[in-house]
Amino acid sequence: MTDIAARQLPRSSNGKIGDPLFRGVATFFAVLVLVILSGVMIALVHGALPALGHFGFGFLLTDSWNPVTDKFGALAPIVGTLLTSAIAMLIGIPLAFGVAVFITELCPVWLKRPLSTIIELLAAVPSIIYGIWGLFVFAPFMQSYVEPAIVNTLGNVPGIGRFFAGPPLGIGILTAGIILGIMVLPFISSIMRDVFETVPLILKESAYGLGSTTWEVMWQVVLPFTRIGVVGGIMLGLGRALGETMAVTFVIGNAHRVQTSILAPGTTISASLANEFTEAVGDLYLSSLFALGFILFVITFIVLAIAKLMLVQMSKRAGT
């Protein structure tokens, strides 16, 4: 009876005014975001049309980049962006998963909070600091120890050796990918840790009671329960890797050519824009840089769309 009476109580005047006002404000900001996004896309398309119209589809298939002769191609930045992001994910995802598992399942109570804070502070380090550290500390280490070992081992393997061949320069796609992997680590691990802690304790205790190991509990209980949040964290880290600029610019070598070896210098879309936008002379040169920005926008949009579809499919399988 109390619930029925509560439902029949007249709404206050504040509710009559506040609800429509709140709905209008929320709708305004939602539409504002779409307008800003549309404006960015229109500006990129408008700036890229001269280059895309001049070079056509070949703009995506050539790595020529010569401002003197007005010959431009986006293949090298596209390949560099995808390769460095892939390397970052191959390094960052296992590390982030291990950190999240340790903090939530294995870490002593007295160490959990300090370790979590330290990991999260990595996200606050400016990207230019990562770039300086990468150029003056990490790149010489790669040149002296890591890359010679890679060349002498994997570089001699038939078939895949060409992907690990070449002189050990220290700077290149591999170094940039590793730096990106370190940079995305705090983002992915923080989200994984938070979603792992949402798993009901009774589920894990039941699995342990049946004799499951810690790995079996994580793989068969925690990950299925949190897979949507885990995928979201990975996509957030991938978005950071695709768009990172300064740290990559310092260590990738900024070479507009496609090479088979990941030890060789290369470039990314964001690094090319950062290096050349202020020096672009001529309409075609500037339009080519706009075209690179538009391509990066499309790549990011496709990645996020795929992530959204994956999350929808996971939700359907889970029955939610």
DSSP 222-254: IHHHHHHHHHHHHHHHHHHHHH--HHHHHHSB-
Give the amino acid at 242.
Answer: L
Alpha helices in the chain (DSSP H): 2-8, 13-55, 75-101, 109-121, 127-133, 139-141, 147-153, 173-196, 201-209, 214-217, 223-243, 246-251, 269-276, 283-318
CATH of domain 55-318: 1.10.3720.10
Between CA 289 and CA 268 the distance in angstroms is 12
Between CA 214 and CA 275 the distance in angstroms is 48
The pLDDT tens digits for 116-135 are 888 888 888 899 999 999 99
Global pTM exceeds 0.85: yes
Alpha helices in 197-222 (DSSP H): 201-209, 214-217
Predicted confidence pLDDT, tens digits, the chain (320 residues): 445 544 554 555 555 777 888 899 999 999 999 999 999 999 999 999 999 999 988 899 988 898 888 899 999 999 999 999 999 999 999 999 999 999 988 888 888 888 888 888 888 889 999 999 999 999 999 999 999 999 999 988 888 889 998 899 999 999 999 999 999 999 999 899 989 988 888 888 888 888 888 888 888 888 888 888 888 889 888 988 998 889 999 999 998 889 889 999 999 999 999 888 888 888 899 999 999 999 999 998 888 888 888 777 777 766 65
The pLDDT tens digits for 199-210 are 888 888 888 888
Task: Enumerate the domain spans of the chain.
Answer: 55-318
The pLDDT tens digits for 89-105 are 999 999 999 999 999 88
Between CA 243 and CA 246 the distance in angstroms is 10
Between CA 40 and CA 297 the distance in angstroms is 9
How does strand 71-72 pair with strand 65-66?
A: antiparallel
Residue keyed to tokens 């120890």 = 145
Query: Which of 269, 233, 242, 243 minimizes the C-alpha distance to 254?
Result: 269
pLDDT of amino acid 1: 44
Between CA 320 and CA 309 the distance in angstroms is 14
pLDDT of amino acid 13: 54
pLDDT of amino acid 303: 85
